[in-house]
Amino acid sequence: MLPAHTPPARRAAADSSAQTPTLYRPSISSFSSLPSTKSRISTSTITGTGSTGSATLLSPEEASFITSSVRKEINAKSRLPGAPSSSVVQGSVLLADISGFTKLGEALKTEHGDAKGVEIFADQVSAVIAGLTLIVQRFSGEVVKIAGDCLICVFVNIPGEDEYDDELSLSRAKYCAHALLETIKVINEHLDLHGGLQQGVIQRIHLKATMAKAEQLGVGRQRWFCIAGRPIKLAGILLDKAGPGQVCVFGGLVIDRATVLKEQKCDDVDVGSSPTVSPVSRSRSISRVSQMLTSCPAAAARYLPPIYRAKYGAGGAGGVGVFTNEYRRVVVAFVSLPGVFKQSLQSKGIDVAHLNDVYSTLNALLSKFEGKMLFFLLSL
């Protein structure tokens, strides 16, 4: 899990040679077209592990729970990825930790009462997460997981970029980090963000619950996608060093809202030519994201979070209904597996077969006691 931390005092930018003429300045209207948190869910049939089928698709709300690279992989192969399996890519990991949620939640409950305050709080959290995720996608990155109030983002080279130039994805990650710092204040002035950015080799891992016991308990069809590698650990260390409104980058650079980078481009607009993003660019970006969400085969439902599947998925009690925020008392347990994490830091990567056994066993044990796995992260 991500480490608990108390950020140090604000640090000055360590790299005075970094320069850029213009900063990314989003408008609040950038987020007016984002999906509502009260969207209608259409329950989809979960198909087999082979062909995804041509007729049945997940709803956009369902697809939004699945990592974009996984959706693309399923569409490209017309079937679910093999599991357990892994691949290695060169890229950058950005941990973007949002601060201020606890204080905001308490203030809203004091002002509006517990039930209404929690509802307003959940809507505001959803708006922030959706807005920041859209920014990451604009810079051709992806939010692999949302761990509590931390976005785990990955940037790799995209088609059209030199696959041997590792600085291209890192450059986009830096620009994205700066955009996130500015954007969060546009969406909600009471919140802030700090983060860590590290480059290196990343292991992409597909898991599935395969043990006989897991099958007996009804979780044998569950899939999970995660990443592993030293960049996650190092990004976590940099995250600890960052003060409010800062992103610490390996090599000593500290990005804050006043940082001037050399040039700043995202995938659909050159921000260097204009301090704001045009409505046309915003519309094109949101349209592209929406198109990806409406073309996700139903077979990908295996990757939906267990809590979601229990309520809305095949056999869930929720069925077709309105997807809303909920307020309930729960028991949360954090389980640390330091030996597994240590193995993920080795140059050869983690043994995915062993990791899959661990994942399957945990799934089976949780199901036996009517629990659900919220996160399975190979990070600090």
For 42-73, what is each residue's pLDDT tens digit? Answer: 433 334 344 444 448 888 888 888 998 999 89
Lowest mean pLDDT among 78-92, 116-130, 225-239, 315-329: 315-329
Res 328: pLDDT: 75
Say whether pLDDT at 282 is over 50: no
Q: Dig out the tokens for 310 from the structure.
A: 């229990």
Give the range among 9-23, 88-102, 282-296 with minimum mean pLDDT.
Answer: 9-23
How many Å separate Cα 355 from the centre of its chain?
A: 21
Cα 213 to chain center, whole Å? 30
The CA–CA distances, whole Å, from 161 to 68, 107, 171, 363 equal 19, 46, 12, 39
Residues near 318 by Cβ (< 8 Å), separated by ≥ 6? Answer: 41, 43, 311, 312
- Structural contact between residues 201 and 229, judged by C-beta atoms closer than 8 angstroms: yes
H/E stretch holding 60 reads: helix 60-63
Domain ranges of the chain: 28-368
| Separation CA 266–CA 172 (nearest Å) | 7
Percent of the chain with pLDDT over 90: 33
Q: Which among 2, 367, 347 has a CA at the least distance from the CA of 213?
A: 367
Number of H helices and number of E strands within the chain? 11, 11
What is the model's pTM? 0.77
Q: For residues 86 and 353, is the Cβ–Cβ distance under 8 A?
A: no
Please give the share of the chain, as a percent, with pLDDT higher than 70: 68
The third-level CATH classification (topology) of the domain covering 28-368 is Alpha-Beta Plaits (3.30.70)
- Span 113-141, average pLDDT: 90
* Range of lowest pLDDT (93-102, 158-167, 265-274, 335-344): 265-274
Residue 216 pLDDT class (50, 70, 90 cuts): low
126 contacts 37 by C-beta, under 8 angstroms: yes
Q: Could you give phi then psi for residue 267, rounded to 5 degrees?
A: -70, -20
Q: What is the pLDDT of residue 290?
A: 57
Distance CA 130, CA 326 (A): 18
Q: Is the pLDDT of residue 316 over 80?
A: no
> How does the average pLDDT of the chain come out, rounded?
75
Give the model's pLDDT for residue 289: 56
pLDDT of residue 293: 67
Calpha distance 73→83 (Å, rounded): 13
Residue written as tokens 């016991």?
Answer: 213
317 pLDDT above the threshold of 70: no
Q: List residues bridging with 266 in a β-sheet.
A: 269
Flag whether pLDDT at 298 surpasses 50: yes
Average the pLDDT over each of 92-101, 151-160, 364-373 and give the range with the smallest value.
364-373
Between 217 and 106, name the one with better pLDDT.
106
Q: Between the CA of residue 294 and those of 107, 116, 144, what are the distances in Å? A: 37, 32, 19
More confident residue, 348 or 353: 353
E strands, 66-173, in order: 85-99, 142-147, 150-156
How many residues can be counted in the chain? 380
